[in-house]
Structure 1
Amino acid sequence: MVLLTRLRSALRLLPRSSATYATSAASTSNLSPAKRNQSANVYVPQDLYRRIFIVTDPTLPVVTILEQWVQDGRTLSYNELLFVIKQLRSRKRYKNALEVSYWMSEKGYSEPRSSDFSLKLDLIAKVKGIEEAESYFDSIPNYLRTTDCYSTLLNCYAQVRDVDKAKRIMLQMRHLGFAGSTLARNALLNLYYQTQNYDKVENLLLEMKEDGIKFDRFTFSTLINTYAAKSNIEGIDKLLAQLEDDPSYSGSVDWGVYAVAANCYRKLGFHDKAFNALKKSEECVDYTIWKKAFPHLITQYATIGKKEEVMRLWNIYKMDGKLLKTDYSAVISSFLKLDDIELAKIIFEEWESRNQYFRNFFMPNKMIAAYSRKGKMEEAEAIVNRTISKGGKPNEWTWSGLLLGYISHRNFPMAVRCMKEAVSICEVGRKWRPLPESLAAIFQYLKFNGDMEEAEDLIRLLSSKNVISLDVHNKLMSWIKDVESNVPAIDALGGYSHKQTGEISEPEEDRNNPDFCLSHQ
């Protein structure tokens, strides 16, 4: 209690609700409190949780683990399985989640209910595509095809940005009396925003008012994003002022709404307004959601260059003592954004010391890329070696992080090796792509040194992984063989390009994404 009091005092916050933390230590001694289903207070045995989420290779079937669990004489409940599915979905392991959903139905863990159909519908859309989702929706018995199912299908159409089908399903929902939920309207509202139909956003908001449909944090956030897309700073200012002045909105405005506003202000270059919005966001955070809000807030402060705020939040957060990988990731990323590699190193080494075994290179890759950008290859290589010694396996971002450092040091033999390693282990369809400038530098080196065989091998490897198109493949092959040509390699790459920054930054949840802070509450 002393720790809790200190943390609340340091945050200058007051609790807004009486959220329960009263479960006794005795009743949870073999369970993992952090893995609670907040809606039903469901706990999953720690051993099972570890098998599914910590030890297991994400590509392996989770159903096999569940089968073994049952064969060992242990029990599983419907709520536990539902928790597992939702946790898998929150980690974007959609295929695993869908497999568990099918398995749960086949084993008779529950009678058919609308919410189960809705959840499975969402997973099918993510794993198999919208057409399979439509077929599954049609197979749901009419008496179970409730508001949840229609809202989920509407959201599926919103995800693939199919405005016509979304409007069509909304008309059906109106006819059936299912269109009164805020959730359904928000899905359509967000679709209009994503497809830049900003006038339709405002028209739908007026329609919601007329129909007496309550606005929630998602509604307000979509409106803020719409104002930002139109560079309407005055609109954001007025909306925030209205939300503060009107007590009827108090239940609909939380830290996430202000965080979205801060992100929009930042993108438009108004860093002072972004700072003030983040302070407002902090005021809305109580202890029950502090751990979820912290990574977003600290990353946002770093993005607007507020190092002192990053330090302040980190010092407060450390008082809790229960630091997760995501917490370390957010803080390390924040100090790297602030170009303070020494502080990032201290925190990384603290995290490193707490882990005897590494499952992957996700955290080390941050420091490897940072050191490589600085040209400090000895430090980058040392982290690679330490991580491998603890069981970590380099991935494409590891090799490409090293790659840039080797290119800047003109160590092209190592750069070529890293490129080949990265492409070799990259799975077709993965987000990673090498930067055109890196490829150009390597091909320029290989051609200059007359190493045609190595160059052709690399071109074939790039083609086999769909990194380059057939057209670019042919252009590069012609360019390599034309020894008289003075055309730069970057021009020979022609149609090859990418719009992502994945070469030296491994994808993670984008904490600057306007919707991140809303979906993690």
Structure 2
Amino acid sequence: MNLRHPSRISSFLKCCLRVRVFSSAQALTSPSPPPPRTRGDSLYHRISPLGDPTVSLVPVLEGWIKEGKTVKRWELEGMIKQLRKYRRFKHALEVSQWMTDRRYFELSQSTVAIRLDLISKVHGLEHAEKYFNNIPIKLKSTETYGTLLNCYVQRKFVEKAEALFQKMKDLGLVNSLSYNTLMNLYLQTERYEKFDNVVKEMDRNSIRRDVFTFSIQMTRLVATADIDGMEAALRKMEDDPLIAPNWDVYLIVADGYKKAGLPDKALEMLKRSEALVTRDQRRIAYDFLLTMYAGIGRKDEMYRLWNLQKSSSKKVSNASYISMIVSLAKLDDIEGAEKIIAEWESVCFCYDFRVPNRLIVAYCKKGLFVKAESFINKAIQEGKTPYPSTWECLATGYLEDNQIPRGVEMMKKAMSVKRHGWKPNSDNVASCLEYFKGQGDVEGAEEFVRLLRPWVPPTRDVYHRLLRTYVIAGKSVSDVLDRMKEDGLDADEELHEILKTGQDS
């Protein structure tokens, strides 16, 4: 968890700080209860297995009503909450729209805020802005404004976020949540002077800092290696009788100490963090704690926590197995990681290759390519189909080890497997095309681009690399130029340079 890099900061905040707190759409004043856990038939029981986002839930919802069954508003809101939790945003939006359009439940400020967030995730920011502009004045609350602000922050649109925040201030709709959201933006974009100005403004306007304000502030101090400032902020938070620290805060402080080379102090903070984890928070918290214990080289604490997690949970999640495998690999304990995989294979009901992928990555980093391929081939012999990402793990390993032909072969295998939701790594694609260019292998490059097209449309960079291969091979580029035009890519300066090079040669 390298918090010095802005993208890592964002990832850390989203998971460890539970960035949902920054979204007004999710910080509802009256959260809906989850769907009832009924055995047998229920509406949620029917829609839950439909994981493919291209399959609409509307026929299932309509069918439920046609059977003469009823559904209450709180049940639908609970379904939306669950679907969002599992990142099934398109389905959550369908239920939200069906709830008002077909069941005629009246829109509330919270409903509007949640829908705005879902529209942004499913259809993009432009559609979300259009929806926001058409929201009735009475429904434009701190929640709805805060949700749009969060949409801007997620995309790091600084100017739009600042303009909206100013409008919220003019309307008297800002609160600590709004300030936290803006601070999160400045943290992600490394605008530390603006970040500090927001903190000062909160103090001037008597906006109370909450636990999440302190969490963000300490993350900023860790990012700039200001351990003294981090400790001062921690003391100020602990001295505030109205603030109850949570496990997230001490995990951030532990990360700061780890980076400062103070493992004993980091361990103390991790113990404090662990003591604050509630039963409902165990899965995500323990996963982070495992990683942090690995970061300070405490394998004994990792196994203690791992055994505690298994004893306190009916089923350990795949994500937790991944955390343990990654943590062991970080400590170069490949044998330990292999044992965890064997344990997982003995209890898993559905073979999710994202778990063994982490072992394959570990093998490749250690140069154990024979072991990595043997593991995959054994799975195939047992009737399992590796994911595209599994082959790409191998491809990345080979390419980084400068075994380019093998890397190219593995990338081709990855692109030959049909699985929704995967996209080839652009760096790997570039490396493979560079290989074909170096070989002057037009047929190989064309086959690679053909395999690539179902996953992502060829980009300008892909076409440029393909054109250079044609030029090196001394072949006509007219057909490539025609395809490039069909894909809506006009000529640019780099293209003219490529063609000029071909003419000069």
Q: TM-score, normalised by structure 1?
A: 0.73
Q: Matched residues in 2 for 1:309 and 1:396: separation?
A: 34
Moved more, 43-52 or 390-399: 43-52
What secondary structure is seen at the aligned counterpart in 1 of 2:241? Answer: helix
Residue number in structure 2 paired with 1:12: none
Distance change (3 Å), C-alpha of 1:170 and 1:419: closer
Equivalent residue runs for 1:45-124 within 5 Å: 45=38, 52-53=47-48, 56-71=51-66, 74-108=69-103, 110-124=105-119
Residue number in structure 1 paired with 2:23: none
1:54 Cα offset (Å): 5.1
Equivalent residue runs for 1:215-226 within 5 Å: 215-226=209-220
Which amino acid is the alignment partner of residue 398 of structure 1?
A: T
Q: Matched residues in 1 for 2:259 and 2:95: separation?
A: 40
Q: Matched residues in 1 for 2:376 and 2:322: separation?
A: 17
Distance change (3 Å), C-alpha of 1:254 and 1:441: same
Distance change (3 Å), C-alpha of 1:78 and 1:282: same
**Percent identity of paired positions between Structure 1 and Structure 2:** 38
What secondary structure is seen at the aligned counterpart in 2 of 1:319? Answer: helix
1:283 and 2:283 matched: no
Which amino acid is the alignment partner of residue 453 of structure 1?
A: E
Residue number in structure 2 paired with 1:293: 285
- Among 173, 198, 201, the alignment partner of 2:195 is 201
Preserved contact between residue 361 and residue 392 of structure 1 (Cα < 8 Å): no
- Among 233, 238, 241, the alignment partner of 1:248 is 241
Q: Matched residues in 1 for 2:105 and 2:205: separation?
A: 36
Residue number in structure 1 paired with 2:361: 369
Q: Matched residues in 1 for 2:220 and 2:350: separation?
A: 45
Preserved contact between residue 254 and residue 281 of structure 1 (Cα < 8 Å): yes
Distance change (3 Å), C-alpha of 1:423 and 1:101: same
What secondary structure is seen at the aligned counterpart in 1 of 2:52? Answer: coil
What secondary structure is seen at the aligned counterpart in 1 of 2:312? Answer: coil
Equivalent residue runs for 1:43-442 within 5 Å: 43-45=36-38, 52-53=47-48, 56-71=51-66, 74-108=69-103, 110-179=105-174, 181-244=175-238, 246-251=239-244, 253-267=245-259, 270-322=262-314, 323-358=316-351, 360-377=352-369, 379-381=371-373, 383-384=375-376, 387=379, 393-403=385-395, 415-424=407-416, 425=418, 430=423, 432-435=425-428, 439=432
Which amino acid is the alignment partner of residue 284 of structure 1?
A: L
Q: Matched residues in 2 for 1:316 and 1:429: separation?
A: 34
Preserved contact between residue 34 and residue 75 of structure 2 (Cα < 8 Å): no
1:473 and 2:466 matched: yes
Q: Matched residues in 2 for 1:407 and 1:163: separation?
A: 37
Preserved contact between residue 391 and residue 411 of structure 2 (Cα < 8 Å): yes
Preserved contact between residue 114 and residue 148 of structure 1 (Cα < 8 Å): yes
Preserved contact between residue 459 and residue 476 of structure 1 (Cα < 8 Å): no
Preserved contact between residue 452 and residue 481 of structure 1 (Cα < 8 Å): no
Which amino acid is the alignment partner of residue 201 of structure 1?
A: F
Preserved contact between residue 259 and residue 278 of structure 1 (Cα < 8 Å): yes
1:298 Cα offset (Å): 0.9
Moved more, 217-226 or 256-265: 256-265
What secondary structure is seen at the aligned counterpart in 2 of 1:430? Answer: coil
1:113 Cα offset (Å): 0.7
Which amino acid is the alignment partner of residue 454 of structure 1?
A: G
Preserved contact between residue 113 and residue 143 of structure 2 (Cα < 8 Å): yes
Preserved contact between residue 395 and residue 407 of structure 2 (Cα < 8 Å): yes
1:77-116: CA deviation from partner (whole Å, max 9, x where unpaired):
3223222222332333322322222222222262111100
Residue number in structure 1 paired with 2:17: none
1:264 Cα offset (Å): 3.9
Aligned-residue RMSD, C-alpha: 3.5
1:169 Cα offset (Å): 2.4
Q: Matched residues in 2 for 1:271 and 1:282: separation?
A: 16
1:423-443: CA deviation from partner (whole Å, max 9, x where unpaired):
355879937335379527854
1:399-458: CA deviation from partner (whole Å, max 9, x where unpaired):
1123356679998776544221323558799373353795278548x93xx865224422
What secondary structure is seen at the aligned counterpart in 2 of 1:333? Answer: helix
Distance change (3 Å), C-alpha of 1:264 and 1:430: farther
Which amino acid is the alignment partner of residue 163 of structure 1?
A: V
Structure 2 unmatched runs, 5+: 1-29, 476-493, 495-505
Which amino acid is the alignment partner of residue 433 of structure 1?
A: S
Q: Matched residues in 1 for 2:429 and 2:202: separation?
A: 47
Q: TM-score, normalised by structure 2?
A: 0.76
1:470-521: CA deviation from partner (whole Å, max 9, x where unpaired):
2222223334559xxxxxxxxxxxx9xxxxxxxxxxxxxxxxxxxxxxxxxx
1:120 Cα offset (Å): 0.6
Q: Matched residues in 1 for 2:313 and 2:126: separation?
A: 47
1:188-235: CA deviation from partner (whole Å, max 9, x where unpaired):
221222233322222222222233322122211221122233332210
Q: Matched residues in 2 for 1:70 and 1:379: separation?
A: 54
The count of corresponding residues between Structure 1 and Structure 2 is 440
1:155 Cα offset (Å): 1.5
Q: Matched residues in 2 for 1:207 and 1:377: separation?
A: 55
Q: Matched residues in 2 for 1:407 and 1:172: separation?
A: 50
Preserved contact between residue 428 and residue 466 of structure 1 (Cα < 8 Å): no
1:318 Cα offset (Å): 1.6
